[in-house]
Each structure stands twice: as C-alpha cells, then as structure tokens.
C-alpha cells in the first residue's frame, strides 16, 4: 500500500510541474502576443501618416 501512495505522490507532483510549466509558457506567450500587437499598431500609425503625406503631395501636385 505505501508503494502505491508514493507513486500517486510522484504523479501528483509531476502533474503540478507540468501545470506550472504550461502556465509559465502561457504567460510568456501572452506577453509576446501583446508586444507584437503593439508593434503592429505602431506600424499602422506610421503607414497611415505616410499615406496622408503622399495624398497631400498628390493634391499639391494636381493643383499646380
């Protein structure tokens, strides 16, 4: 009987370690996704500003 309990304790401990590792990976992934989304948002802002400038130049050129 004690041998079975030791095995169960080992399985429980292993399960906890796996759960902790999964949680850590999920947290890191969430942080990376957030950073990527912020980077994409910044790129969109820059691209919109470039588009506004190009459109302004085209209007200036057309009005000459």
Supply the mean pLDDT for the chain.
Answer: 93
pTM of the model: 0.69
Helices (H) and strands (E) in the chain, counts: 1, 0
Predicted local confidence at residue 1, as pLDDT: 60
Dihedral of alpha carbons 37, 38, 39, 41, sign: positive
Rounded to an integer, the average pLDDT of 19-34 is 99
Predicted local confidence at residue 21, as pLDDT: 98
Predicted local confidence at residue 16, as pLDDT: 96
pLDDT class for 14, splitting at 50, 70, 90? very high
């Amino acid at each position: 009987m004690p041998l079975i309990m030791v095995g169960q304790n080992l399985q429980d401990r292993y399960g906890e370690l796996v759960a902790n590792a999964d949680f850590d990976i999920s947290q890191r992934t969430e942080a990376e996704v957030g950073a990527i989304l912020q980077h994409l948002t910044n790129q969109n802002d820059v691209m919109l500003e470039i588009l506004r400038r190009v459109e302004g130049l085209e209007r200036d050129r057309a009005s000459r």
